[in-house]
Amino acid sequence: METIIKLTDINKVYRTEEIETQALENVNIEVEKGEFLSVMGPSGCGKSTLLNIMGLLDEPTSGTVELCGTTISHNLSDNQLADFRNRTLGFVFQSFHLISSLNVIDNVQLPLLYRGIGYSERIRRAKEVIERVGLSHRMKHTPVQLSGGQCQRVAIARAIIGNPEIILADEPTGNLDSKMGADILGLLKQLNEEDGRTIVMVTHNEQQAQQTKRIIKFLDGRQIQ
Amino acid sequence: MSKLLLYVRQALALIREDKQFSAIYIAGTAVAIASAMVVALILHIRMGNIYPEVNRDRTIYVGSNFTRSDGGYIGYSGYSPQAVEEMFSKLECAEVVSAVMNTDYIYSFTVCKEVGKQEVPVSAMFTDPNFFRLYEFKFVEGKPYNEENLKNADRCVVITEALARKLQAESGLVGQTIQLNYLPYRVVGVVKGVSPLLKETSADIYMPYTVSDSRSHWKAENVTWAGGLEVRVLLKKGYTREMLMDELEPYKAKYLSMLKSTTGEDWNWYIQVRPHWRRVLNFFGEEVNDASTTDLLANLSIPALFMLLLLLLPAINLSGMVSNQMEARVAEMGIRKAFGAKKRVLLNEVIQENLVLTLCGGVVGYLLSWLFIAAVRNSTLFLSMFGREYDPVDNVSLQLDMFFTPTLFLIAFACCAVLNLMAALIPAWTSLKKPIVESLNQKK
- pLDDT one-digit tens code per residue, A165-178: 999 999 998 888 88
- Residue A28 phi/psi, 5° resolution? -130, 115
Does B47 share its domain with B101? no
Which among A86, A100, A119 has the least Cβ separation from residue B340?
A86
Distance of alpha carbon B255 from alpha carbon B86, whole angstroms:
11
Interface test with A, best of B339, B344, B356, B429 (most A CBs within 10 A): B339
DSSP run (H or E) holding A38:
strand A36-40
Minimum Cα–Cα distance from A58: chain B residue: B437
> Does the beta carbon of A14 lie under 8 angstroms from any beta carbon of chain B?
no
Residue B99's alpha-carbon distances to A147, A178, A185, B132, B240, in angstroms, are 82, 94, 91, 11, 20
Does B8 share its domain with B82? no
A197/chain B closest Cα distance in angstroms: 17
Whether residue B335 and residue A106 make contact (CB cut-off 8 A), yes or no, is no
Average pLDDT for residues A178-196, to the nearest whole number? 89
- CB distance B159 to B173 below 8 Å: yes
Does B310 share its domain with B385? yes
> Does the beta carbon of B363 lie under 8 angstroms from any beta carbon of chain A?
no
Of the two residues A197 and B297, the one the predictor is more confident about is A197
Question: With the CA atoms of B352, B354, B356 and B360 taken in that order, what torsion angle do they form, in degrees rounded to the nearest 10?
Answer: -160
DSSP code for B85: I
A85/chain B closest Cα distance in angstroms: 6
Looking at residue B173, its pLDDT comes to 85
Minimum Cα–Cα distance from B335: chain A residue: A97
Cβ-based burial of A77 (10 A; exposed 0-12, middle 13-18, buried ≥19): exposed
- CB distance B347 to B337 below 8 Å: no
Q: Chain A window 95-114: which residues touch B at a Cβ cutoff of 8 Å?
A: 97-102, 106, 110-111, 113-114
Residue B255 lies in a domain: yes
Q: What share of chain B is helix, strand, coil (3-state, %, to 5)?
A: 50, 20, 30
* C-alpha Rg value of chain B to the nearest Å: 29
Distance of alpha carbon B45 from alpha carbon B296, whole angstroms:
16
Does B18 share its domain with B87? no
Does B254 share its domain with B354? no
Which among A79, A82, A113 has the least Cβ separation from residue B6?
A113
- Residue A11 phi/psi, 5° resolution? -125, 140
Which among B265, B281, B312 is the end of a domain? B265
Q: What percent of chain A has pLDDT over 90?
A: 68
Minimum Cα–Cα distance from A167: chain B residue: B339
Does B252 share its domain with B360? no
Whether residue B2 and residue A119 make contact (CB cut-off 8 A), yes or no, is yes
Cβ within 8 Å of residue B225, ≥6 positions away = B79, B80, B82, B83, B86, B87, B255, B258
Q: Chain A window 130-149: which residues touch B at a Cβ cutoff of 8 Å?
A: 142
Looking at residue B233, its pLDDT comes to 96
Residues of A whose CB is below 8 A from B331: 97
Looking at residue A218, its pLDDT comes to 92
Looking at residue B37, its pLDDT comes to 79
- CB distance B172 to B90 below 8 Å: no
Distance of alpha carbon B345 from alpha carbon B388, whole angstroms:
52
B141/chain A closest Cα distance in angstroms: 58
Whether the CA torsion A57, A61, A63, A64 is positive or negative: it is positive
Cβ within 8 Å of residue B273, ≥6 positions away = B60, B61, B62, B241, B244, B245, B248, B289, B291
Does B315 share its domain with B434? yes
> Does the beta carbon of A161 lie under 8 angstroms from any beta carbon of chain B?
no
Domains delineated in chain A: 3-223 (3.40.50.300)
A102/chain B closest Cα distance in angstroms: 6
Looking at residue B369, its pLDDT comes to 81
Does B44 share its domain with B151? no
> Does the beta carbon of B338 lie under 8 angstroms from any beta carbon of chain A?
yes
Which among B221, B248, B265 is the end of a domain? B265
The rounded Cα A78 to chain-centroid distance in angstroms is 19
Which among B331, B345, B437 has the least Cβ separation from residue A114?
B345
Which among B211, B245, B265 is the end of a domain? B265
Which amino acid belongs to residue B208?
Answer: P
Parallel/antiparallel/unpaired status of strands A214-219 and B177-180: unpaired
DSSP string, B151-213: HTT--EEEEEHHHHHHTT-SSS-TT-EEEETTEEEEEEEEE----TT-TTT--SEEEEGGG-S
Residue B108 lies in a domain: yes
Residue B63 lies in a domain: no
Residues of A whose CB is below 8 A from B6: 106, 113
Domain count, chain B: 2
Distance of alpha carbon A206 from alpha carbon A173, whole angstroms:
12
Whether residue B440 and residue A87 make contact (CB cut-off 8 A), yes or no, is no
A174: alpha, beta or left, given left = phi > 0 and alpha = psi -120 to 50?
A: alpha
A84: alpha, beta or left, given left = phi > 0 and alpha = psi -120 to 50?
A: alpha
Residue B285 lies in a domain: no
Looking at residue A4, its pLDDT comes to 94
Residue B207 lies in a domain: yes
Minimum Cα–Cα distance from B437: chain A residue: A57
Which residue ranges in chain B fall short of pLDDT 50? 396
A186/chain B closest Cα distance in angstroms: 23
> Does the beta carbon of B184 lie under 8 angstroms from any beta carbon of chain A?
no
A29/chain B closest Cα distance in angstroms: 21
Residue B288 lies in a domain: no
Does B309 share its domain with B437? yes
Whether residue B437 and residue A57 make contact (CB cut-off 8 A), yes or no, is yes
Residue A164's alpha-carbon distances to A125, A198, B60, in angstroms, are 14, 9, 70
Q: List the beta bridge partners of residue A71.
A: A66
- CB distance B353 to B10 below 8 Å: yes
Residues of A whose CB is below 8 A from B10: 101-102, 106
ipTM: 0.93
Q: A73-112: per-residue pLDDT in tens?
A: 777 888 999 999 999 999 999 889 999 888 999 999 999 9
Which among B6, B17, B440 has the least Cβ separation from residue A97?
B440
Does B161 share its domain with B192? yes
Residue B271 lies in a domain: no
Interface test with B, best of A51, A102, A113 (most B CBs within 10 A): A113
Looking at residue A151, its pLDDT comes to 93
Distance of alpha carbon B144 from alpha carbon B159, whole angstroms:
10
> Does the beta carbon of B19 lie under 8 angstroms from any beta carbon of chain A?
no
DSSP code for B53: B
Looking at residue A139, its pLDDT comes to 93
- CB distance A55 to A85 below 8 Å: yes
pTM of the predicted structure, to 2 decimals: 0.61
Whether the CA torsion B390, B395, B397, B401 is positive or negative: it is negative
Minimum Cα–Cα distance from B18: chain A residue: A101
Does B224 share its domain with B87? yes
B123 closest CA partner among B63, B185, B199: B199
DSSP code for A212: S
Q: Chain A window 35-94: which residues touch B at a Cβ cutoff of 8 Å?
A: 52, 55, 57-58, 78-79, 82-83, 85-87, 91, 93
Domain assignment of residue B111, given as a range: 70-265
> Does the beta carbon of A127 lie under 8 angstroms from any beta carbon of chain B?
no
- CB distance B74 to B68 below 8 Å: yes
Cβ-based burial of B86 (10 A; exposed 0-12, middle 13-18, buried ≥19): middle
Secondary structure (3-state) at B420: helix
Does B139 share its domain with B196? yes
Distance of alpha carbon B206 from alpha carbon B144, whole angstroms:
9
Minimum Cα–Cα distance from A144: chain B residue: B17
The rounded Cα B363 to chain-centroid distance in angstroms is 22
Cβ within 8 Å of residue B145, ≥6 positions away = B129, B154, B156, B157, B158, B188, B189, B207, B208
Where helices occur in B18-65 by DSSP H, the ranges are 19-47
Looking at residue A3, its pLDDT comes to 92
Residue B184 lies in a domain: yes
